[in-house]
Amino acid sequence: MVDQRVRSELREVVGRLQQMQSVLAVAITSLREQSADIDLDVANLLQLAVADGLHVQVDKLQAVIRRLPPTPASKPRR
């Protein structure tokens, strides 16, 4: 049986990865808006090498969490 702690830790990892995605999106947008040649190259590299791969990994982790067996309902205390 999967411990609730494992499910919680996986959700925490997903949350942190999603925060990284947000920061990365801001950096990419900022670099693209500066329109310097090297900035556009760096923005494209970040998008292809980091952002796209990060998105795939978040999706995979979320799929793993969805496949985990449900946690048993907590038993009432006597």
- Match 């980091």 to its residue by tokens: 50
Give the ranges where the chain is alpha helix by DSSP (H): 4-34, 37-46, 52-67
Q: Report DSSP letters for 57-77, one per residue.
A: HHHHHHHHHHHSPPPPPPPPP
Instruction: Output the pLDDT for position 23.
Output: 93
pLDDT in tens, 6-54: 889 999 999 999 999 999 999 999 999 998 889 989 999 999 999 999 9
Residue 68 sits at φ, ψ, to 5 deg, of -65, 145
Is the pLDDT confidence value at 74 over 80?
no
Residue 31 sits at φ, ψ, to 5 deg, of -65, -40
Six token digits for residue 23:
């920061």
Instruction: Output the pLDDT for position 59.
Output: 95
